Amino acid sequence: MARISKGILGPVSGTVGTVIGGSWKGISYLRSQPAAKKHSPTTDQIDHQLRFSVVLNFIQTMTGLIQLTFKKYAIKMSEFNAAFSYNYHNALTGSAPDYAIDFTKALVSRGELPNAAAPSATVTGNSIYFTWTDNSGTGAAAATDNAVLVVFCPNLNVTQYSTNSATRSSGAGAIDVANFNGEMVETWIAFLSEDGKEASNSMYTGELTVTM
């Protein structure tokens, strides 16, 4: 049963026949109910599903992070959708059925805040250590910006990240990766302003193997 607020001309919430009404981020919408599938998917549809699933599986591992690092691009869409769209169009590589993420082109953060200078990542014991050159004062870069340290394990399809373990001025930070012992991981660094309103584009800091 549908509900119409503000009279007959108001927004619809619920189902009316074959139409569904609702609201998202304050925007009222109407959409048709999906039709029952009567035919097997075409080759193009299967190909699209494969590409979609590769990017989705990657982005889903860092949903909490994306909500912080893609805020500026969540315009009439969620932060998750903004991150998905960017990586779908820029980081997806390969051909059917062997699609993959090109981690050197992927972004786990996006924005206009300057990133650090000369970032790098190395494994020592059960931690990955990130280092960078403090560039506070370059553009909007501030000493109090928080470093965003990101580690993704493709084999386990798990992401670990830190957003408050170091500041730009500290020049170094670490993240515990004991859960990834023996695994290959991909790494990135980015920065968030102290108030969380601004983010930098992430920078890829390499592929590492965790050995303890």
Instruction: Give the integer Cα–Cα distance in Å for 131 and 118.
Output: 8
CATH number of 43-209: 2.60.40.10
Q: Which structure tokens are listed for 160?
A: 């670990």
Which uninterrupted H or E stretch holds 69? helix 63-69
Residue 180 near residue 154, CB atoms below 8 Å? no
The answer to whether the CB of 188 falls within 8 A of the CB of 205 is yes
Q: Where are the domains of the chain?
A: 3-32, 43-209
In 10 A of CB 140, how many CB atoms?
A: 13
pLDDT digit string (tens) for the chain, length 212 residues: 444 455 444 555 566 556 676 666 666 656 666 666 667 888 888 899 999 999 999 999 999 999 999 999 999 999 999 999 999 999 999 998 899 999 999 999 999 999 999 999 999 999 999 999 999 999 999 999 999 999 999 999 999 999 999 999 999 999 999 999 999 999 999 999 999 999 999 999 999 999 97
| Element (DSSP H or E) covering residue 206 | strand 203-209
